[in-house]
A and B are shown apart, each in its own frame.
Chain A
């Protein structure tokens, strides 16, 4: 049986080299381009008619829009809607990368830590820059919770560490979910092959096959859910930047 982590190998499709930096076009890049093309193509084609009574495609596009818009409105408030394009792009990109990864034999871009870390650093960078730009040093009040002053020497380091852990947990959550899910699928699919090769035991081979089917359904749920969680957490973090230290 092939190793379960073989599916995450990055293969170079078009070798590129900029002054010693390996910038090759890989299968990961291809799937990222695919996700972006699918997402923008879907929105453009679906909204082409701009009908007052939406058809099927337009309904789907409007539902996606409304879903993310209500997430941003609930977590940041009306003044956070200027970040809606960011959150919507992140949501659609992560969602399509996750779902493209569920196609058998394809490559899951979000199972690469470097991709999710780049997305998380983008979010945290925007939070810090916008927070400092909007509130100046008052943004640092974020680290001073509303507790009796005696507790402050303890609470401030905790708040700082929890703030610094945000990009870490944001990226590792998405990465680990996709990685573990695909490894589990591969391992259970491997059971089918090894049972079929084991003579009389082949009779129970359908059992892991059923489990793989059920796991695939769960993984599709997880793929959508993790995109949603990424969008929600992005809006929660942006809310800190918009409202400063006042919770």
Chain B
């Protein structure tokens, strides 16, 4: 098989890792929203934790994008 095709398939497969991040982010904001709707007065104090969790979760999705980019441009 042409190695360029293999690279493209590999990069595409690497991006599948973002599905996990999508689940994680949906879970994160969904849980925050359901908690915030139960106790709106406590929601504001937890916004920093929410953003921290967002950044930590999002970074993992970006790692898989990074692997895809490495396959495409470096390998």
Query: What is A's interface to B at a CB cutoff of 8 Å?
Result: 3, 5, 169, 172-173, 176-177, 179-180, 183, 222, 225-226, 228-229, 232
Shortest distance from the beta carbon of A234 to any chain B beta carbon, whole Å: 13
Determine if B32 is an interface residue (Cβ-Cβ < 8 Å). no
Residue pair A229, B69 in contact (C-beta under 8 Å): no
Map CB proximity to A onto B24-59 as digits: 1 under 8 Å, 0 otherwise: 000000000000000000000000000110111011
Decide if the interface of chain A is mainly helix, strand, loop or mixed. helix
CA gap between A226 and B56 in the complex, in Å: 9
Q: A173-B59, A177-B59 are in contact. Are A232 and B52 (CB under 8 A)?
A: yes
For B, the interface residue count at a CB cutoff of 8 angstroms equals 13
Kindly identify which residue among B51, B66, B73 contacts A225, using a CB–CB cutoff of 8 Å.
Answer: B51
Bound CA span A232–B49, Å? 10
On chain A, the residues within 8 Å of B62 by CB distance are: 173, 176-177, 180
**Which of A5, A176, A183, A232 is B59 in contact with, Cβ under 8 Å?**
A176
Q: Do the beta carbons of B52 and A229 come within 8 Å of each other?
A: yes
Closest 9 CB pairs of A and B: A173-B59, A229-B55, A176-B66, A176-B62, A180-B62, A225-B55, A180-B65, A177-B62, A5-B73
Q: What residues of A have a CB within 8 angstroms of the CB of B52 in the complex?
A: 228-229, 232
A179 CB contacts on chain B under 8 angstroms: 66, 69
- 11 additional A-B residue pairs with CB within 8 Å, beyond A169-B59, A177-B59: A172-B63, A172-B66, A173-B62, A176-B59, A177-B55, A179-B66, A180-B65, A180-B66, A183-B69, A222-B55, A226-B55
